[in-house]
């Protein structure tokens, strides 16, 4: 928990260390399906009554599913904190998984999957993870496949829930205008239950990244591209210089790639690099969309910028600016109770303890040019990248030697 006396709200998050990577191929989509179903009625409340009760408080209630965790949360005024606890407890312990609601929600989830597939700049990321990690569950789409969702039964859902949503995987994170003693008391009252019997915590094996080129043909005006490879894990200290390098290459309007590809040449509307960090793995990648005929030219520019930074590094002045950008982004992102609650939980999941913001800032300040060079050499190698293309067919071969 994190008391924040200057705000009027409290954000309560119930986190379960179960995500899409915990699913067998035939189970892919069950975690996300369960996320939906916990809002569809309990022994005490219908789905409408759950929604109305939160609305009457002026609060917010929602959830999200990731690859390594699921979060159910509510945000209410501090005067309604007990009601927030009670409703979260109710949906977690007493959801009915009613057959009629399961059928109704099936249609909603299928529409969600199709919506993602109809949004190429979003769908390209799902395809990239599938190509990068192959058949491993870490590369499977979080909402599941249409084929799986169409055949899931109530028995499948309830069985998966009972096996995975247990005490050893649950974290309660609370941030806002709170009194710690009251929060401990409410936690014990609403979540201290025999249903939280411990179970063995599953720790998946690391997944190797797979280089290669993958074309996913689609009748689109633009070619959507995601090009990258393996990065470091969430707990590896190299994540700080790797994130700094990503910021330098494609982390904003002043970044090298944005300036070279968009501002100087007008080849794209958007181009950016990104990192993602998981328990044992990570990614670094560059993404853009443009006319198919511009593909080769853009690849050459991106490759040239990567090779330049691998050979020459970055200047002390650039490094100083990147550090300030990273610290500004971090501190601004933690202004709300939602983000504070998220940090509490993810710190607990990956590190087993809270990581003070001051420690994160100190690690950013400690990044050296040598650190940047080391991660560039280890993780940012176009010859080892996975290339995912979505859109019209590309005939030309990539010649990185000319860059």
pLDDT tens for 132-151 read: 999 999 999 999 999 999 99
What mean pLDDT do residues 13-38 have?
97
CB-based contact 11:338 (threshold 8 Å): yes
pTM: 0.95
Non-local (6+) Cβ contacts of 371 within 8 A are 238, 240, 241, 244
Positions of CATH 3.30.830.10 in the chain: 2-196, 212-402
Query: In angstroms, rounded to a whole number, what is the distance separating the alpha carbons of residues 180 and 338?
Result: 18
Q: How far is CA 191 from the centre of its chain?
A: 26
Question: Exposed/middle/buried for 377, CB within 10 Å: 0-12, 13-18, 19+?
Answer: exposed
Contact 391, 220 (CB under 8 A): yes
122 closest CA partner among 134, 114, 110, 111 = 114
Residues involved in catalysis: 35
Segment 302-335, tens digit of pLDDT: 999 999 999 999 999 999 999 999 999 999 999 9
Asked if residues 170 and 15 have their Cβ atoms less than 8 Å apart, the reply is: yes
What average pLDDT score do residues 11-17 get?
A: 97
Contact at 8 Å (CB) between 210 and 131?
A: yes
Which range, of 48-62, 100-114, 181-195, 358-372, averages the lowest pLDDT?
A: 181-195
Query: Of 34, 67, 30, nearest to 152 (Cα)?
Result: 30
- 56 DSSP β-pair partners: none
Superfamily grouping for domain 212-402: Metalloenzyme, LuxS/M16 peptidase-like (3.30.830.10)
Pairing, β 282-290 against β 223-231: antiparallel
Per this entry, what is the length of the chain?
403
Q: List the beta strands (DSSP E) in 138-233.
A: 170-176, 212-217, 223-231
pLDDT for residue 192:
86
Inform me whether the pLDDT recorded for 196 exceeds 80. Answer: no
What is the CATH architecture of 2-196?
Answer: 2-Layer Sandwich (3.30)
Q: What is the pLDDT of residue 200?
A: 53
DSSP state of 253: T
pLDDT of residue 399: 59
Identify the pLDDT of residue 167.
Answer: 82
Cβ partners under 8 Å of residue 332, min gap 6: none
Nearest 5°: the CA angle 71, 235, 239 is 105
| pLDDT above 50 (res 403) | no
Query: Distance between CA atoms of 347 and 158, rounded to whole angstroms?
Result: 29
pLDDT top residue among 371 and 168: 371
Name the pLDDT band for 375 (thresholds 50, 70, 90): very high
What pLDDT is attached to residue 398? 64
Percent of the chain with pLDDT over 90: 93
> Is residue 21 predicted with pLDDT exceeding 80?
yes
């Amino acid at each position: 928990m994190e008391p924040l006396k200057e705000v009027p709200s409290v954000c309560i998050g119930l986190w379960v260390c179960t995500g899409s990577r915990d699913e067998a191929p035939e189970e892919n989509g069950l975690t996300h399906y369960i996320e939906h179903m916990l809002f569809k009625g309990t022994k005490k409340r219908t789905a409408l009554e759950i929604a109305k009760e939160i609305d009457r408080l002026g609060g917010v209630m929602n959830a999200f599913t990731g690859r390594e965790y699921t979060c159910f949360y509510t945000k209410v005024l501090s005067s309604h904190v007990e009601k927030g606890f009670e409703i979260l407890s109710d949906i977690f312990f007493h959801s009915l998984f009613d057959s009629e609601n399961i059928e109704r929600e099936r249609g909603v989830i299928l529409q969600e999957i199709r919506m993602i597939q109809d949004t190429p700049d979003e769908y390209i990321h799902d395809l990239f993870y599938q190509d990068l990690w192959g058949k491993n569950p870490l590369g499977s789409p979080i909402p599941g496949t249409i084929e799986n969702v169409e055949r899931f039964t109530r028995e499948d859902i309830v069985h998966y829930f009972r096996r995975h949503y247990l005490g050893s995987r649950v974290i309660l994170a609370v941030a806002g205008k709170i009194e710690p003693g009251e929060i401990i008391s409410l936690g014990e009252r609403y979540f201290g239950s025999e249903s939280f019997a411990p179970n063995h915590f599953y720790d998946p094996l690391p997944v190797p990244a797979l280089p290669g080129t993958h074309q996913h043909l689609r009748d689109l005006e633009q070619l959507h591209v995601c090009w990258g490879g393996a990065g470091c894990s969430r707990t590896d200290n190299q994540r700080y210089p790797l994130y700094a390098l990503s910021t330098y290459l494609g982390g904003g309007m002043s970044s090298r790639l944005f300036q070279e590809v968009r501002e100087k040449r007008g080849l794209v509307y958007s181009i950016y690099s990104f990192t993602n960090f998981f328990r044992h793995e990570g990614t670094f990648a560059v993404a853009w969309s443009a006319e198919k005929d511009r593909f080769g030219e853009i690849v050459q520019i991106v490759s040239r910028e990567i090779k330049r930074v691998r050979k020459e590094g970055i200047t002390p002045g650039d490094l100083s600016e990147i550090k300030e950008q990273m610290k500004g982004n971090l501190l601004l992102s933690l202004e709300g109770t939602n983000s504070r609650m998220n940090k509490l939980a993810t710190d607990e999941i990956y590190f087993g303890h809270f990581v003070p913001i001051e420690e994160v800032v100190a690690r950013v300040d400690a990044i050296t040019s040598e650190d940047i060079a080391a991660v560039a050499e280890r993780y940012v190698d176009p010859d080892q990248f996975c290339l995912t293309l979505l859109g019209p067919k590309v005939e030309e071969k990539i010649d990185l030697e000319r860059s």
